[in-house]
Chains A and B, each alone.
Chain A
Amino acid sequence: MKSKITLKEIAQLLDRSANQLNAGSANALHSARQLALQRQQASTATWVDRHGLLHAHGTQQHRLLNWLIAVIVASLLLGNIVYLYHTSEHSHGDIDIAILTDDMPIDVYVD
């Protein structure tokens, strides 16, 4: 008697058993398989949806919104920088101090 049975032999035994199944059992097994496959597909879709891999339309909208926000924020930042640059350029504190403490009288610059 053989002590070990190979995978091929197991498959052959299962096929043989499957062929001996009555129609009712075969149908029940087929239905169970289909149900399991449907559940697997639904679960994958939910996971993918949750992580933003499906619904390309929604993702595009999300991207567009992100870009819009980024552009607004960047414009705001740029505006602030330009304003600060403009203000510092026209801040006369240092020049005023220099004129008021220079060894030349003010009227040299005024007249």
Chain B
Amino acid sequence: MWIKAVHSKGIVRALLSLALLTLPPLAVAIPWGDLTPQQKEILAPFSSSWDSLQDKEQREMLGIAKRYPKLSPQKQQRLHARIERWSKLTPEQRMSAREKYKAFRKVPAEKREAVKKMVREQQENQAASGVLPAP
């Protein structure tokens, strides 16, 4: 019986350790000044609004900055061109964009390609008429 007791104590200790290990990190806002020069360069459009962002949004933006160096040069260029527009969106607009993006990914590949083709043609027409295409 005492062996059982020792055994159950061990299990409780193991569970407690596991529970402590999986504790979520405390969400603390990060001031703009604490970002590294590289993070500041990538997230430059957010410099003025950074401190008003929720800590969750800050972490998401830092996630983007973290992934940036691993992107291909073409994707880095796109991200650089679009992040300013992204920073001007409200959190609700960003959420809506994410939902639409997720929904669009579920569309069959053929239909997706047809939409992309249509958008490209629209951009070419805008470029031909002297209107700057959206980023």
Contacts and interface: CB of A to CB of B under 8 A. Distances in A.
A96 to B, nearest CB: 6
Given A103-B116, A109-B104, A110-B97, A96 B64 contact: yes
For chain A, the bracket of interface size reads 35 or more
Given A104-B116, A104-B119, A99 B11 contact: no
Contacts of A102: 78, 101
B135 A106 contact: yes
A66 interface: yes
The dominant DSSP class at the B interface is helix
Interface of B: 1-2, 5, 8-9, 11-12, 15-16, 18-19, 22-24, 59-60, 63-64, 67, 71, 75, 78-79, 82-83, 85-86, 89, 93-94, 96-98, 100-102, 104, 116, 119, 123, 133-135
Task: Give me the 8 closest cross-chain CB pairs, A-B, nearest first.
Answer: A93-B63, A101-B75, A109-B97, A80-B22, A76-B19, A77-B19, A73-B15, A109-B100
